[in-house]
Structure formats: C-alpha cells, structure tokens
Amino acid sequence: MIFTKMNGLGNDFIIVYGETELPVNAAELAVKWCNRYFGIGADGLVYILPSDRADFRMRIINSDGTEAEQCGNAIRCVAKYLYDYGYTNRSEITIETLGAGAQKVSLLFEGDAVERVRVDMGEPILEGLKIPTTVNLSPVLDHPIEVEGREFRFTAVSMGNPHCVIYVDDAVHFDLSLWGPKLESHPLFPKKINVEFATVHSRDHVDMRVWERGAGPTMACGTGACATLVASVLNGNTGRSAVISLNGGDLFIEWIEEDNHVYMTGSAEMVYEGLLAD
C-alpha cells in the first residue's frame, strides 16, 4: 500500500488514498504504523474515501487506535494531497468529516503551488451536553474543574470534536504531560476531551499548547486553535480573529459574525511517500 507522510505545523499524518471504505483493522494499523520507533511514526492515520455528500471523505484514526471526529490539520493536509496528486484540479472542494459534516476548503496558491489552505470549520457547538460535557450550561464558560487538589477553570467548545480551553500564565512552558492526561479523562468529559492551555498576549495573538485526546502532546491542533479563538472571544480576551501560535507554527483563525462560522488558515506540507509492507 502506498502512503504519503504529511504534516500541518508538525502535527503529522500517514495519508492513504484508494480504499472504498475504512478497513476493519484500521485501529490496529494506526497503532502499528504510527509508532515512532517500530513504524512510520505519526499522530494519526488518515484515509481518503469516496463520499455521497461531498467531493471526498476523510476518516482519522489516532495513534492509540481511537477515531477522531475531526482534525483541522489533517483536513488541510488532505486538501493539499488531493490537489498535488491530481485527484482534483479545483481550488475549492468539500471534504466530509465524521463529526462536522461536509466542510468547504479553499486552496491558496503561490504561483502553481498550494501555499496555504483555508477551511470553513463550521459553527462552534457551545451547549455543554452536546460537546459533550456533563455540565448543563450554554456556554460552559470559565467553569471550575478540580484535578488532584488543583483547580482549573475551563471553557468548553466543540468544533466537531470536544475541547476544553484553560488559560494559564505561560502556555509555552506549561507541564502538558502532567495535567493533560488527567484532564482528558476527567469525569466531566464522558467521551474524553482535547485540552488546550492558552496565554493571551494581545487582542489578536494567543499562545496555545495542546494535549490531544488519543494522541497526547502534539505540535499543533487545528480544531484546538479554533476552539481557543472561540473561547477567547466568549471570555472577552480577543477580537473575532487572531493568530494562534502553536508549537509547530501559527494558524490564523476567524469567527465570522455574519454566518457564525469559524475559518482556519494555515499551511500543509508533504514530508515523503513510501510503500507499506504487510
């Protein structure tokens, strides 16, 4: 099986095209191939499949074998892959996701090359029970959560997958490995959750670091950046557009008032391609 290794700001994926459905052993394959010592190494395994409701469909299996409903970095990689490999010649396509439906994707060029990808990530979900959390509020804003005697305050947002955004003094040096897994599996989050630690520098710039559900600390998280912008607007910390700086680079996020949709713009890069052996 031919694969392509790609990354969006260091959040890396094994991209596979040509299957008609998700393989029954996709979880097992993801654990095997995403292993950074005995496999290819990646945060997730992504299958590009046919769709009845969009131009293409993607399914994302995390490195631990669980399935993600959506991934902002993966969808940018998929869009660039489809254009670069000649599966589409259009600059605007739709890609179906498990958790957020069919999303509109725009390819932005420098010369003939896809330089960046802008994705309509849809409307954020702010109702606590639908995110899901066990908190019956809408929005779940600056809500307390206690872990091992320490209290954090979080804002919950779903961008097709669940996020809790926590503001800290120094997100860049925050101990992700200590607090991320404890918060991910907290009883307040029945399907677990992606955890973003954020520091606001100005009305249009936020530092964010992420502990991803099913993958652990990653270099970037597109849906997490979107959730961070939405949470920052709701908390009065930023305007409706901002640069979200992640470990792997910057994403430009907009929450447009007219349609209530969140838009994400960022890069995607091919690393290499190869052949998977049985």
Active site residues: 71, 221
In this structure, how many other beta carbons lie within 10 angstroms of the beta carbon of residue 113?
10
Query: In the 3-class helix/strand/coil scheme, how is 250-266 assigned residue by residue?
Result: EEEEEECCCCCCEEEEE
In this structure, how many other beta carbons lie within 10 angstroms of the beta carbon of residue 25?
9
Q: How far is CA 42 from the centre of its chain?
A: 14
- The Cα–Cα gap between 16 and 1 comes to 8
* Side chain identity, residue 109: F
- The Cα–Cα gap between 117 and 37 comes to 31
Cα-based angle 176, 179, 182 (whole degrees, multiple of 5): 130
